């Protein structure tokens, strides 16, 4: 619990520190007002084939805002606003990082959009999905001109990965709107609630809206330092 509290405490500090430079948002500043606005929304479509997918660059970044004008879908884990993207046509392995940037209320308390990433194939079936346990605190200094936020990354190898689309949303249970308890295939709600419970009062309020930055970069190969590499090293190389 001490480590969890420290982690969320660092999030809170980073969120407050970052509010001075953030641009005006297209959603309410108050977390409760955001939830009230979200509670009145309706779903956009019956299935992901109706999503509008924005193409991601082969390398670089794309910014998006999940706000009151964003589409809402009833995922297996419940209703959530989302942003949808088409993955780039790549020949080599690459990595996609999704970062939810911190917003801060005027009184210093902050809400955050807790991002979950789902990869869909060309038939719109989920082939990979991240959870809240994959989120990492990324300070502003991690990138030049960057902002603090919660980040998750997904490695993609075109040789064996069938993912064609990427969808970013947040677990509805965190927003107080969980799906029916008997919904088949919902593996996210209970895990998300347990994750938040472990963090207790140190956890920042969950927001249905937020600003995200998606970065696409080549996957960096890790040198093989195993036994084969050791045998290949010349004698006396120590």
Can you give the pLDDT at residue 182? 77
Instruction: Note the pLDDT of residue 144.
Output: 59
Residue 231 lies in a domain: no
Q: Quick one: pLDDT at residue 226? A: 54
On whether residue 167 sits in a domain, the answer given is yes
Residue 225 forms part of a structural domain = no
What's this model's pTM, rounded to 2 decimal places? 0.81
Q: Is residue 230 part of a domain?
A: no
Asked if the structure places residue 234 within a domain, the reply is no
pLDDT of residue 142: 63
**Would you say residue 13 lies in a domain?**
yes
What pLDDT does 111 receive?
84
Residue 233 lies in a domain: no
Confidence at residue 104, expressed as pLDDT on a 0 to 100 scale: 60
Residue 112 is classified by DSSP as B
DSSP assignment letter at 40: T
Burial class (CB in 10 A: 0-12, 13-18, 19+), 200: exposed
Length of the chain, please? 238
Q: What are phi and psi of 13, to 5 degrees?
A: -65, -40
4-9, Cβ contacts within 8 angstroms, sequence gap of 24 or more: 4/198, 4/199, 4/200, 4/202, 5/199, 5/200, 5/202, 7/137, 7/199, 7/202, 8/199, 8/202, 8/203, 8/204, 9/202
Identify the pLDDT of residue 21.
41
Q: Is residue 226 part of a domain?
A: no
Range of the domain at 178: 2-220
**How many folded domains does the chain comprise?**
1
Tell me the CA distances in angstroms from 192 to 24, 70, 72, 145, one per residue in order: 29, 22, 19, 31
Would you write out the chain's pLDDT as a tens digit for each of its 238 residues? 444 444 444 444 444 444 434 444 688 888 888 999 999 999 999 999 999 999 999 999 999 999 999 999 999 999 999 999 999 999 999 999 999 999 765 443 558 999 999 999 999 999 999 999 999 999 877 665 678 899 999 999 998 888 999 999 999 999 999 998 878 889 899 999 999 888 887 678 899 999 999 999 999 866 655 555 444 444 444 4
């Amino acid at each position: 619990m001490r480590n969890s509290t420290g982690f969320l405490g660092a999030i809170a500090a980073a969120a407050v520190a970052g509010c001075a430079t953030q641009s005006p948002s297209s959603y309410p500043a108050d977390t409760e007002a955001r939830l009230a606005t979200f509670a009145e929304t309706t779903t956009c479509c019956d299935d992901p084939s109706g999503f509008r997918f924005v193409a991601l660059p082969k390398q670089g970044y794309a910014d998006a805002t999940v706000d009151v004008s964003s589409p809402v879908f009833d995922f297996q884990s419940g209703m959530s606003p989302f942003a949808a993207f088409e993955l780039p046509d790549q020949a080599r392995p690459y990595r996609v990082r999704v970062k939810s940037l911190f917003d801060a209320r005027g009184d210093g308390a902050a809400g955050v959009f807790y991002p979950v990433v789902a990869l869909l194939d060309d038939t719109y079936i989920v082939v990979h999905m991240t959870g809240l346990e994959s989120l990492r605190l990324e300070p502003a200094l991690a990138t030049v001109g960057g902002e603090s936020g919660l980040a998750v990354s997904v490695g993609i190898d075109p040789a064996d990965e069938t993912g064609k689309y990427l969808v970013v949303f947040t677990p509805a249970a965190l927003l107080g709107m969980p799906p029916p308890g008997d919904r088949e295939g919902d593996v996210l709600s209970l895990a998300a609630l347990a994750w938040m419970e472990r963090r207790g009062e140190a956890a920042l309020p969950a927001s249905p809206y937020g600003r995200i930055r998606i970065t696409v970069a080549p996957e960096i190969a890790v040198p093989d330092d195993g036994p084969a590499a050791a045998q290949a090293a010349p004698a006396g190389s120590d």
